[in-house]
Structure 1
Amino acid sequence: MSQSEKEKSVAVIASEAPVRAKPSNYPEPFASRMAGREKRRLGELFGLRNFGVNLTRMIPGANSSLRHAHSRQDEFIYILEGHPTLMTDEGETVLAPGMCAGFAAGSGNAHQLINRSSADVVYLEIGDRTPDDAIVYPDDDLQAALDDNGNWRFEHKDGTPY
């Protein structure tokens, strides 16, 4: 299928969608902690603007993200394969295929997935794109906010930029 035919597709095989070119938006030393995670930006393929959808694969030992909480954007995950450990303020929960979890904007409940198993984990992550979002990372010297162009601006917790 040519590139122009792919652009006109109304449906795709999700696992064949292109892998996101940039593995992580985090600055170093945090970006390298995302090794072993690959995202396929499914929402981008269809020009979705109000919410994003990623098909994410994590190899054993990989993390989904740094543990974080959004001020204005909701997030939802649905496990397709594997048994990741969900880390939240309540503690650890081992998930299985068919399980899902949601994280309401402004709840302050920081979350992340860790693949502590010996097999790959595959899940869908869905999040909205509400402007003026900010992210806190309680375990790291990091905070983020969306700039006027929709790009994340990363800072130390004291406000100095990375």
Structure 2
Amino acid sequence: MPEHTYPTAINASDSPARVKQTNYPEPFASRMAGRLKHPLGDLFGLTNFGVNLTRLAPNAVSALRHAHTKQDEFVYILQGHPTLHTDEGRTQLSPGMCAGFKAGTGNSHRLINETTEEVAYLEIGDRTPGDEGSYPDDDIKALLVGGEWTFVHKDGSPYLR
């Protein structure tokens, strides 16, 4: 008999939101105010990739602008008109549009809700061990160790808790 039973199907909007708002340490964690993630992949026991239904309130951001060394990422806009901020500049997105970020390219990205309406989108990323995240705008670096994200300063020194 399996240890855990997973649902066959759910309404994504009814899924529980992630309890912990962000893994970022301060002073970055508070910058994620207004972002709400519903970890859909975890509900089904997915281990090779993650899927989140993410909502951004007006003026909220998806993440610090970042790039991954080993993890591909993909976003699909369901509702609203977020601004995609990449190394190439800013691009206005609308429902039905999508964007992908190939691992190892160094193209840093994030979504920003610069409107007065909520934004909703799906984000999909793999869970490749040994991934690292770089953040060109901030003094932070992410390391995926044992399936958990650890954050350090760019010089490798740890953030104090």
TM-score calculated relative to the size of structure 2? 0.95
Aligned counterparts of 2:150 and 2:57: Cα–Cα separation in 1: 28
- Report the AA paired with residue 113 of structure 2: N
> Secondary structure of the residue that 1:86 maps to in structure 2?
strand
> Secondary structure of the residue that 1:123 maps to in structure 2?
strand
| Unmatched 5+ stretches in structure 2 | none
Deviations 1:15-35 (A, max 9, x none): 000000000000000000000
Shift of the 151–8 alpha-carbon distance from structure 1 to 2, 3 Å rule, reads closer
> Pick from 39, 47, 50: which aligns with 1:49?
47
Shift of the 131–8 alpha-carbon distance from structure 1 to 2, 3 Å rule, reads closer
Identity percentage over the alignment?
A: 66
> Secondary structure of the residue that 1:15 maps to in structure 2?
helix
| Unmatched 5+ stretches in structure 1 | 1-6
Instruction: Please name the residue that 1:3 is paired with.
Output: none
Deviations 1:56-94 (A, max 9, x none): 000000000000000000000000000000000000000
Moved over 6 A (4+): none
Aligned counterparts of 2:25 and 2:135: Cα–Cα separation in 1: 13
1:113 aligns with 2:81: no
Instruction: Please name the residue that 2:135 is paired with.
Output: 137
> Secondary structure of the residue that 2:7 maps to in structure 1?
coil
1:161 aligns with 2:158: yes
TM-superposed deviation, 1:150? 1.1
- Report the AA paired with residue 92 of structure 1: R
> Pick from 7, 31, 34: which aligns with 1:33?
31
The alignment covers a number of residue pairs equal to: 155
TM-superposed deviation, 1:8? 4.5
Aligned counterparts of 1:152 and 1:44: Cα–Cα separation in 2: 16
- Report the AA paired with residue 119 of structure 1: E
TM-superposed deviation, 1:9? 2.3
- Report the AA paired with residue 138 of structure 1: P
Instruction: Please name the residue that 1:4 is paired with.
Output: none
- Report the AA paired with residue 152 of structure 1: W
TM-superposed deviation, 1:14? 0.1
What's the Cα RMSD here? 0.7
TM-score calculated relative to the size of structure 1? 0.94
Of residues 149-158 and 67-76 in structure 1, the stretch that sits farther from structure 2 once superposed is 149-158
